[in-house]
Structure 1
Amino acid sequence: MSDDAVNLTIGPICLQICPDAIATFTKHRQRCFFSRESGGQLFARVRGNNWEIVAATGPKTRDSRSRFGFRPHRPSEQEEIFEYHRLGYDYVGDWHTHPQDVPHPSPDDLESIRNLVRESIHHLPGFLLMIVGRDRFPKGLWCSFHSLDGSFVSGTVEPAAAKRR
């Protein structure tokens, strides 16, 4: 499926995840018992409520990573946000892996994204959280949209080819 885009509607957002971002998720999936969690940021072309994720960045050397945890190095992420902004893309959320077949966010994951939405300076109605599990997509991908008011909704993922039929 890494050759296909992934489309979903999640809350108010119509989202397309481009193949390059899917390839990043697939590359960092925790396949072995000793694999550490990975993660990064999501960057998109934003046109109203239509978001096209063109890049999912990978882990950085200064991130803290373990089998069951991922803590990004926020100063490095801020530099990355500036870099992608200069290219015309918006930061729209975070992604990371879990050592689960079908991933679900932990309480820490939900608190972290809630704080990011609330404390960040941005023009968006909220941010995305994506968690990559061990199963193939769509089953192995959790997607949720976190609003400014603290609420969130999850979305159903389907391959782009299925939407065209």
Structure 2
Amino acid sequence: MVDKELVFKALDESLVVISTEVTNTLLSYRQLSDSSQESAGVLIGERRGVHIIIKTLSEPSRWDIRSRFMVDRVSKHHQMAVDIAFKKSNGELHYLGEWHTHPEDVPSPSIIDYSSWHKNLKLSEPLILIIAGRTDFWVGKKIQDNIEMLKRI
């Protein structure tokens, strides 16, 4: 468990702040054993100018398709989590991107990850991509067709 938020910086100096609650939830889904399945969900939070604050996320459901090296979010509850957060916050909280796990210590996106992100994430605003590994996180920012790995500060 961590007791402070994580902060990442892009080349343009914009920041991505991941709340303590979100970080601890991501840590809870790490694939620490050989039988652990990949997990995935969506990121929810707010945009403050060029900065992004991730405040909550959706967690896997029993309807998602999960295996050791693959996950497919098929449950409608991920969209419902975004809708509920938007409504409860009077429009302040929005969909900000995607997260999933990898069964490796220091994760990096696979060719399948990049392909899926380019094919399915078509928002004009920047989106955040997080991969939770066993000991570290990979955090990226997708703007149009460009995906930049962010630096932890």
TM-score, scaled to structure 1: 0.83
Shift of 1:11: 4.4
Corresponding residue number in structure 1 for 2:40: 39
Q: 1:155 aligns with which of 146, 150, 153?
A: 150
Alignment of 1:121-160 (within 5 A): 125-135=125-135, 140-148=136-144, 150-158=145-153
Shift of 1:4: 1.1
Contact 1:94 1:130 in 2 (8 A): yes
Which secondary structure state, in structure 2, belongs to the residue aligned with residue 4 of structure 1? coil
Q: 2:119 aligns with which of 115, 120, 127?
A: 115
Corresponding residue number in structure 2 for 1:94: 98
Shift of 1:76: 2.9
| 1:33-63 CA-partner distances (Å, limit 9, x unpaired) | 1000011111112111111111122111211
1:66 aligns with 2:60: no
Total equivalences in the alignment: 149
Shift of 1:128: 1.1
Q: CA RMSD in A?
A: 1.6
Shift of 1:97: 0.5
Rounded Cα–Cα distance in structure 1 between residues aligned with 2:11 and 2:83: 27
1:106 aligns with 2:102: no
Q: Percent same amino acid at aligned positions?
A: 27
Corresponding residue number in structure 1 for 2:8: 8
TM-score, scaled to structure 2: 0.90
Rounded Cα–Cα distance in structure 1 between residues aligned with 2:41 and 2:143: 20
Corresponding residue number in structure 1 for 2:53: 52
Regions of 4+ moved over 4 Å: none
Structure whose residues are more often helix by fraction? 1
Specify every segment of 5 or more residues in structure 2 that has no aligned partner in the other structure, as ranges.
none
